[in-house]
């Protein structure tokens, strides 16, 4: 082992210490004591409060039909809950996103079916990361009885970066959708536009639910195609 150099003064310009749990709060003025939105250090699950047992109708198609009967509802669209979040969280890997979404669609088909007794129409997802893959997924969901499909209301990340689904390269998909007459629905999602909106909108004033569909409908369309205009209108 070499001997430590001591022939000249040494100044280390990059050491660290680790703050204790109360380092930022012990001397903080009282008026800022609730400035943080997670002052108790809760997990995301704990922040939601007391857990609620998922009703049986959210898990099984048979129980959903019973619930429709109880509510006097004849038919219903049935959306996945985690699908749009997955599309966002895995967007940096288009191939992974496509694989996850197809796996989800297969599970939906097995567990719920896309058309349960002509009353519960569960929506498979068509991810647009790659147009060719989206066309194949469209064919697959149609072959398995889908009556409607869900598309995320926002730009998608593909092989060439983030793109508007209304650009000309997506026209083949929209034409296929129009040709088969498959209704396309939109649902509030987690679009990759928040980084931009948050720079322009005041804090806590962003209408998350209301803006999703409007943003999608407002996407730039270089050469408007009837399918691209009509398909989202089913929402």
> Is 28 contained in some domain?
no
List of E strands, 63-168:
76-78, 120-122, 149-150, 156-158, 161-163
**Non-local CB neighbours of 208 within 8 Å, separated by 6+ positions:** 188
> Is 4 contained in some domain?
no
* Predicted confidence band of residue 186 (pLDDT cuts 50, 70, 90): confident
* Predicted confidence band of residue 1 (pLDDT cuts 50, 70, 90): low
pLDDT, greater one: 186 or 83: 186
With contact defined as beta carbons under 8 Å apart, do 131 and 172 qualify? yes
pLDDT, greater one: 48 or 179: 179
> Is 59 contained in some domain?
no
Count Cα atoms within 13 angstroms, Cβ side, for 234.
19
pLDDT in tens, 19-54: 666 776 788 788 777 766 776 778 777 878 888 788
Q: pTM for the whole thing?
A: 0.69
CATH number at 220 reads 3.20.20.140
Listed residue (206, 115, 128, 230) closest to 173, CA to CA: 128
pLDDT in tens, 162-172: 898 989 999 99
> Is 15 contained in some domain?
no
Q: Which residues form the domain of 209?
A: 80-234
pLDDT at 140 over 90: yes
> Is 18 contained in some domain?
no
Count Cα atoms within 13 angstroms, Cβ side, for 156.
24
With contact defined as beta carbons under 8 Å apart, do 114 and 88 qualify? no
Number of domains in the chain: 1
Listed residue (173, 111, 106) closest to 144, CA to CA: 106
| Token pair 């704990």 in the structure block, residue | 46
* The pLDDT of residue 9: 81
Listed residue (163, 160, 176) closest to 221, CA to CA: 163
Supply angle C-alpha 234, 195, 39, rounded to 5.
110
pLDDT at 224 over 70: no
> Is 11 contained in some domain?
no
């Amino acid at each position: 082992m070499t001997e430590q150099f001591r022939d000249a003064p040494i100044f280390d310009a990059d050491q660290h210490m680790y703050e204790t749990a109360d380092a930022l709060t012990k001397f903080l003025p009282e008026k800022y004591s609730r400035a943080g939105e997670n002052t108790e250090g809760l997990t995301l699950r704990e922040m939601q409060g007391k857990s609620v047992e998922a009703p049986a109708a959210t898990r099984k198609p048979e129980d959903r039909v019973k619930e429709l009967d109880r509510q006097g509802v004849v038919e219903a669209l049935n959306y996945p809950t985690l699908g749009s979040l997955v599309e966002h969280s895995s967007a940096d890997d288009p191939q992974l996103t496509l694989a996850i979404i197809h796996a989800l669609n297969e599970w939906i088909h097995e567990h719920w079916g896309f058309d349960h007794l002509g009353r519960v129409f569960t929506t498979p997802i068509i991810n647009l990361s790659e147009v060719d893959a989206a066309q194949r997924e469209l064919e697959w969901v149609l072959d398995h009885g889908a009556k409607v499909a869900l598309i995320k209301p926002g730009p998608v990340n593909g092989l060439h970066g983030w793109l508007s689904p209304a650009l000309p390269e997506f026209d083949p998909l929209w034409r296929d959708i129009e040709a088969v007459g498959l209704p396309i629905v939109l649902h509030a999602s987690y679009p990759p536009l928040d980084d931009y909106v948050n720079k322009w909108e005041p804090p806590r004033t962003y209408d998350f639910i209301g803006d999703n569909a409007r943003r999608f409908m407002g996407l730039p369309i270089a050469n408007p195609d009837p399918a691209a205009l009509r398909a989202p209108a089913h929402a």
